[in-house]
C-alpha cells in the first residue's frame, strides 16, 4: 500500500469516527428525558427557547451563591404568578435549604434507595415539597468516597422520568448545577439538550470567572457536535463594584442579567435563611428585574477566553501574571550539582 493511500484511509477513518460520535450525541439528545412541547407562537424564533416550559440550568463555582440566587429568584417568580420547579443537582443537597428555612429536604437518591429496600415505589410527595407557590426537590448524591456524584444526577433524572416529568406543567424549571465539577453527569443538561439555556453565576474573582468560562466552553463544544443549548447571561453575586465580572461578560459576549451587591444586609438575612426576593422587600425590585431578565434572555453563542485572556481582566498585582516561567534543569530536579561522567564508548573515525 502506498503512503498516499494509507494517509487517505486514515483521514477517511477519522472522518467516519467523528461523524459517528456526532450522530451518537444527537441520538442521545433526542432521547433526553426532558422534552416539553413547542409553542405555536414561537415557531419563527430561531434562537429563543421554543418550548412552553423554560428549563434553565444555572452553573457556578461552589460557594458563589447559586442556591441563594435561585431560592430568591424562584420565590419572586412564584409571587408574580409563575409556576416554578426548583431542582437541586448539587451533591451537598443545599439548594432548597434557604427556601425551606434551613430544613433539609429528603433527596431523590436517598428516598429511592430506602423505598427500594422496603419494596415500595417513590411517590411525588416523598421527594417534592412546596412553599408559597414554589415547588422544590433535591437530587442528592453519594457520601464522600462512596460513589460518583455525576452518576447520581443521571439516576435522579431517570427517576424523574418515571414520576411523570413529561406531564408536569411549569412555566420554569430551574436546575442548580456545580460548575467546577467536570464529570459527565454535571454536564448532562448541556450535552443532552435537557435545557434550552444556561445562566452562569460569578463574582469579581478569578476562580468564579474561570468556572463561568469553562461552562461557556462546554456550551460551545456541544454546539459544534449538534447541540442547541446557549448561554443566556450572567448573574454577578457579591458585587463589590470592581468590574471584572462585567468585563468578562462583555468579553465572552453575554449580558449581565443582574448584579447582587456585596451588602451586609443581604449576607445577614441569607445567613438567617430569610428570603429577600419578596415584592415588599428592599431587594424585591432587584429580584423582580432578574426574574424578568431570566425569562426574556435569549440563548447566545459565547466566545470563551484563554487563560491569559482571563488573567488580563485583572490587574497584574492581583494575579501575579508578570511572573516569568523559568524552566527547571536536571540538576534542579536532583537537588545537587550534576557531574557529567566521560563516556567509555569508543568512537572510530571514518576511514
Q: Which positions are catalytic?
A: 61, 66, 92, 180
Q: Which three cell numbers stand for residue 295?
A: 425569562
Q: Which three cell numbers stand for residue 297?
A: 434572555
CA distance 229 to 195: 7
HSE-CB for 39 with a 13 A CA cutoff = 12
Q: Are 218 and 187 in contact (CB under 8 A)?
A: yes
The residues, any chain, with a CB within 8 Å of residue 107's CB and separated by 6 or more, are: 93, 127, 138, 139, 140, 141
CA distance 241 to 254: 18
- β-pairing, 197-202 vs 172-178, is unpaired
CA distance 130 to 86: 10
CA distance 308 to 254: 19
- β-pairing, 134-138 vs 129-131, is antiparallel
Q: Which three cell numbers stand for residue 235?
A: 448573574
CA distance 56 to 199: 7
CA distance 71 to 86: 8
Amino acid at each position: 500500500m502506498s503512503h498516499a493511500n494509507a494517509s487517505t484511509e486514515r483521514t477517511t477513518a477519522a472522518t467516519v469516527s467523528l461523524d459517528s460520535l456526532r450522530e451518537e450525541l444527537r441520538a442521545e439528545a433526542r432521547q433526553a428525558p426532558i422534552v416539553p412541547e413547542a409553542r405555536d407562537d414561537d415557531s419563527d424564533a430561531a434562537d429563543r427557547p421554543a418550548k412552553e416550559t423554560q428549563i434553565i440550568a444555572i452553573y457556578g463555582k461552589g460557594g458563589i451563591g447559586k442556591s441563594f440566587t435561585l431560592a430568591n429568584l424562584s420565590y419572586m417568580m412564584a409571587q408574580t404568578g409563575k409556576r416554578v420547579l426548583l431542582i437541586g443537582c448539587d451533591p451537598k443537597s443545599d439548594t432548597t435549604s434557604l427556601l425551606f428555612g434551613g430544613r433539609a429536604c429528603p433527596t431523590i437518591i436517598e428516598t429511592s434507595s430506602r423505598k427500594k429496600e422496603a419494596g415500595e415505589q417513590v411517590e411525588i410527595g416523598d421527594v417534592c415539597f412546596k412553599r408559597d407557590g414554589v415547588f422544590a426537590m433535591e437530587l442528592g448524591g453519594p457520601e464522600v468516597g462512596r460513589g460518583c456524584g455525576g452518576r447520581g444526577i443521571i439516576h435522579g433524572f431517570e427517576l424523574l422520568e418515571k414520576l411523570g416529568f413529561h406531564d408536569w406543567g411549569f412555566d420554569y424549571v430551574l436546575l442548580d448545577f456545580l460548575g467546577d465539577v467536570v464529570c459527565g453527569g454535571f454536564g448532562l443538561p448541556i450535552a443532552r439538550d435537557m435545557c434550552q439555556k444556561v445562566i452562569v453565576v460569578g463574582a469579581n474573582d478569578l476562580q468564579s470567572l474561570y468556572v463561568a468560562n469553562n461552562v461557556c466552553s462546554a456550551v460551545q463544544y456541544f454546539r459544534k457536535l449538534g447541540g442547541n443549548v446557549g448561554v443566556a447571561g450572567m448573574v454577578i453575586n457579591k458585587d463589590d463594584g470592581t468590574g471584572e465580572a462585567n468585563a468578562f461578560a462583555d468579553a465572552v459576549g453575554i449580558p449581565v442579567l443582574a448584579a447582587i451587591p456585596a451588602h451586609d444586609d443581604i449576607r445577614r438575612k441569607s445567613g438567617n435563611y430569610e428570603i429577600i426576593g419578596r415584592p415588599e422587600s428592599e431587594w424585591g425590585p432587584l429580584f423582580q428585574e432578574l426574574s424578568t431578565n431570566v425569562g426574556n434572555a435569549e440563548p447566545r453563542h459565547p466566545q470563551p477566553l484563554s487563560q491569559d485572556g482571563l488573567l488580563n481582566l485583572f490587574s497584574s498585582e492581583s494575579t501575579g501574571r508578570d511572573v516569568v516561567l523559568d524552566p527547571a534543569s536536571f540538576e534542579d530536579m536532583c537537588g545537587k550539582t550534576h557531574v557529567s561522567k566521560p563516556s567509555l564508548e569508543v568512537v572510530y573515525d571514518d576511514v
